[in-house]
Structure 1
């Protein structure tokens, strides 16, 4: 594929909205701010919803779901439910690109993505309430029917949540074709997502205990408390999804309208395989994600068995919250002056230094705190660069194949996160057993060999993955802001467009 070497302007050219006749319909500043706010608000509820679905639902299952069931049977049912959740999540890895293809082939007067915000937000919210009520108490009536219906309900819930997630991030290239404007929307979504995800962690215990006290007279966890948490999360999910559906506007630019349809799933997959930049970015991000989740997953063991300070584990929650709130809004401003390639590489170097500190003295709390700061601080920059690189690869693929696969392309990142998450679950279990950090073991029981085994899988191997991720990005990922600008210009010339619609 060739990219024309058209002269580049140092300043950003305006991207007026318009039609093929050239009529300009540029949104006002107030409209732009309103659309950005609506888009940002969407991920507040979406991330809280994800935390309730992926983290706290398991807590609910293991704590109160089977409280009225005989203990031996309850233990078996808990094991069965948690196993089913893992199996469904692994199966969904292969489903996400198909869902992305469905979004790409959606054609309504409301656009491709906004209808799925409306439908996905509503259906997933209703089903979340159902699973947080034990299917309206069926768990206490007939456990066999409960398991059968739970599998159906949870699969449908996961599918419609994925449709909401894929359409949310897939909307960015439909909102703007300018890399810097895309970085603004990505930063806004990441910023509110951090608040929603970590905010749900802050409020879950107060909500559960408060509503438990209201309905039972005791502040101990109860079915009523967890049901209230599920309802509140579901309402927030509907509100934020519908804010995106009604408060944003997809831009039906000529680059989008004149592109070939993404086709059936096989054609969509074929287009992805031909998009070498998408594949290289995906490989680099996957290596980073595996390292990131593997180290995150065993961090509790570091504080309990190596530092012997389990009560200080909360530090690992405070640091990423602060880092996300600071770094997400900072990214677009820095990216206007510093190419995102350097932000990515600089972030990977900081993470590598953090790993080196972990390796040098993982038994010193001050050293570990500094290492945690270096580990968490660049995460936002790395993830946002990956998202933006994947987004810009849409036009690259369109120029190369003639097909525009927006949602399919951006379904790759959540798919990679799920792969990394599945690997993390296996890594955590293996490390705990191999290092003897199970059962009633304490820090006093740890031998030098146990600690070395832990450090090998928690720090040495992830550090190697980070280095590999950096090398892949440096030597294979070519798409950046300037290359994307040239691609857009060449697409305009190829499609006979005078200027890029925004």
Structure 2
């Protein structure tokens, strides 16, 4: 390889498919949630109880809206339990895909039942309707939560690299914007069209609402199938080394004993409360304060446009700006938006600018990424990975703040006199002050507090995560953490010849100079100071996994020896730049086969060492029969040592 040329990292077909499938997955998933969180209530209040007395209808409407708020609060306990069930799932399809598939199937079927008004049961026996509604809605919500927790919980299983996780999360958020905001564009035409086909009337009738729900359900199932067939969990040594079975106590321990979950969660809670409260009363702002309800449509248009722009820009900006500062930048924009909403509401241009600033926010993306990185942080601290449990925290916060919003928005409307036939002309100065204090001043304080919490208490940066991954690798090399399948030992009757994976000079592991200039690499194996940028298979075997950063891979010999070949020291921070692999995970390879090419000059220019380290995954289970002579020349394919399992 010409070291003067810097190889470009190209995405494989499998990576393109995985990213596209995960992205499309949230189009239907987010649209499905939008139907139940927003449009189902419209259906309930506008058409579900046609033909019933107003007294009975109002009771049922109150029951349904109260139940939805109650369920959201109940999920503070339920979602972590669901996450624990997902974490303890073990199937041939992985632990996430079965729940994504069946979660969508069951919740989709139940949503269709709800959009029939449980087949018109309320008109026959409203008491039985109320009982069945509670049962059906709870079941629906539980299965939707299984799907939701599994979808976002899959992110750390798709990659252990913080940057790659950022891309997946950004794609999911971008698709969510399409799914959520797209409903506002299609809902009225679809409902009206199918109502017209059935009744000949141009209005939004029950049959139109059912057709709308059926279309979105079909989209959600197609999106789930895309995720199930298009993505693949990475079963690498770091994931497999974690404790696989967790108890309910472990669930809450994973959350409350991990400060890099608690502090980001608090910062996100403060942001989310501010956002949902203000977003929920923007219609009141335009109708009762500004007095121009006809201009409210611009709120949705601006939110959609900004959402389309911000999510794709995140991975690009994150290459130059740490995600902590992207979070803070978004909160500063929100604070500026509040100032505009309070003092510049008479200027339409400034109001539009305020809406732009209000929607420029990376809080959700940054929080999800911090949570995913906190998984390895927690694994290092307590040996538990808890992927789905940790990723259940963010949706749990969203549901809590949604419940808070539902209650507060109604309270604000009543307290400020913005109900019934009231208009902007009826608003007094006291009403406006009441509205401003709860809609803008209090949320602005929450946004400022979120900045303070994130700035002072969240320390899990991209660089810190890379260090944690390396520390986990070192512990594996030392045998301080064990793989989940530790009971499977090497075949003792036959040793494995370990060949040099590169050309260069041999180095004893105890004399390896690390990236921080300390001396000594843990574990059993050897190192090579390479003379070129090529890595070859050290024996016949199968590539078990590759770090997304491409700087290391695990290979398992035909008789069970597990070895990691680690290219460079500190190179995890290069996030794959300068590395080019010639295999796929799971591929059978033969001794001496070219596996990886790497740019030695680029590694050195970034301040890292290009030392190639080969070490055993289970050092306590093996013996080696040869001492390494430092400085001796070696060519790839030369025998370096024979490895035998301990009796």
Matched, 1:85 2:82: no
Corresponding residue for 1:467?
448
CA–CA distance in structure 2, aligned partners of residues 489 and 220 of structure 1: 61
Aligned partner of 1:116 in structure 2 is 99
Tell me the CA shift for residue 93 of structure 1: 2.5
1:274-423 equivalent positions in 2, closer than 5 A: 274-377=257-360, 379=361, 381-423=362-404
**Cα shift readout 1:161-209 (whole Å, capped 9, x = no counterpart):** 1110100000000000001100110011011110011111211111111
**Stretch moving more, 68-77 or 184-193:** 68-77
For 2:7 and 2:419, how far apart are their aligned partners in 1? 57
Does residue 251 (structure 1) correspond to residue 261 (structure 2)? The answer is no
Task: Choose from 421, 435, 440 the match for 2:416.
Answer: 435
How many residues are treated as equivalent by the alignment? 478
The aligned counterpart of 2:134 is 151
Are the aligned partners of 1:307 and 1:362 in contact in 2 as well (CA < 8 Å)? yes
Q: Distance in 2 between matches of 1:406 and 1:304?
A: 44
Determine if contact 2:116/2:210 at 8 Å carries over to the other structure: yes
Match of 1:19 in 2: none
Q: How many angstroms apart in 2 are the aligned matches of 1:447 and 1:70?
A: 36
Describe the SS at the equivalent of 1:496: helix
Runs of 4+ in 1 over 3 A off after TM superposition: 11-14, 497-502
Please state whether the residue corresponding to 2:52 is helix, strand or coil. coil
Residue matched to 2:51: 68
- Once the 2 structures are TM-superposed, how far is the Cα of residue 118 of structure 1 from its aligned partner? 1.1
The offset of 1:316, in angstroms, is 1.0
Q: Among residues 438, 444, 458, which one is paired with 2:439 in the alignment?
A: 458
Measure the CA separation in 1 of the matches of 2:110 and 2:218.
12
Cα deviation, residue 109, structure 1: 1.2
Secondary structure of 1:95's aligned partner: helix
Partner of residue 224, structure 2: 241
Q: Is the 8 A contact 1:121 1:242 kept in 2?
A: no
- Cα distance in 2 for partners of 1:141, 1:347 equals 52
- In structure 2, the residue matched to 1:5 is none
1:68 CA drift (Å) = 2.4
The answer for the alignment partner of 2:476 in structure 1 is: 495
Matched, 1:483 2:460: no
1:262 deviates by 5.0
1:85-104 alignment, distance < 5 Å: 85-104=68-87
Q: C-alpha offsets along residues 102-144 of structure 1, whole Å, 9 cap, x if unaligned?
A: 1011011111111111111111111111111112232333222
Following TM superposition, by how much is the alpha carbon of 1:44 offset from its aligned partner in structure 2, in angstroms? 0.2
Q: CA deviation at 1:272?
A: 1.5
CA contact (8 A) 1:284 1:469 kept: yes
Q: Aligned residue for 1:263?
A: 246
1:448 aligns with 2:448: no
Name the one with the larger strand percent.
Answer: 2
SS of aligned partner of 2:265: helix
CA separation in 2, counterparts of 1:241 and 1:198?
19
Task: Write the distance in 2 (CA, Å) between the matches of 1:187 and 1:465.
Answer: 25
Match of residue 198 from structure 1? 181
Deviation per residue, 1:462-492 (Å, 9 max, x gap): 1111110000000000001000000000011
The answer to whether the 8 Å contact 2:30/2:179 transfers is yes
Offset at residue 366 of structure 1 (A)? 2.5
TM-score under structure 1 length normalisation? 0.92
Q: How far did residue 12 of structure 1 move?
A: 13
Q: Secondary structure at the match of 1:280?
A: helix
- Contact 2:69/2:406 (CA < 8 Å) preserved in 1? no
The gaps in structure 2 that reach 5 residues or longer are 1-5, 479-522, 524-544, 549-647
Report the Cα distance in structure 2 between the residues aligned to 1:260 and 1:101, rounded to whole angstroms.
Answer: 12
Secondary structure (helix, strand or coil) at the match of 1:303 reads: helix
Indicate whether 1:141 and 2:151 are aligned.
no
- 1:94, 1:75 → 2: CA distance? 30
Counterpart CA distance in 2 for 1:78 and 1:426 is 15
- Segment of structure 1 superposing worse, 234-243 or 281-290: 234-243
Counterpart-to-counterpart distance in 2, 1:445 and 1:70: 32
Secondary structure, aligned partner of 1:250: coil
Question: 2:161–2:547: 8 Å Cα contact kept in structure 1?
Answer: no
Given candidates 164, 170, 181, the residue that maps to 2:164 is 181
SS at match of 2:244: coil
Partners of 1:229 and 1:328 in 2: how far apart?
A: 27
Tell whether the 8 Å contact from 1:306 to 1:363 is kept in structure 2 after alignment. no
Task: Report which of the two has the higher share of helix.
Answer: 1
Deviations 1:60-113 (A, max 9, x none): 111111112233322222222222222222212221111001101101111111
Partner residue, 1:214 = 197
1:363–1:454: structure 2 CA closer, same or farther, 3 Å change rule?
A: farther
| 2:109 counterpart of 1:126 | yes
Matches of 2:409 and 2:57, distance apart in 1: 25
Distance 1:472 1:42, change over 3 A: same
Residues 413-461 of structure 1: CA deviation (Å, up to 9, x unaligned): 0111111111112221221122121222211111112111111111111
Q: Give 3-state SS (helix, strand or coil) of 1:219's partner.
A: coil
Distance 2:229 2:47 in 1: 37
After superposition, what is the alpha-carbon deviation per residue over 1:352-400, rounded to whole angstroms, capped at 9, x for unaligned? 11112222233433322211111112x2x22211111111111000100
Q: Distance in 2 between matches of 1:141 and 1:424?
A: 34
> Match for residue 7 of structure 1?
none
**Separation in 2 of the partners of 1:108 and 1:410?**
20
Matching residue of 2:584? none
Query: Which range moves more in the overlay, 302-311 or 361-370?
Result: 361-370
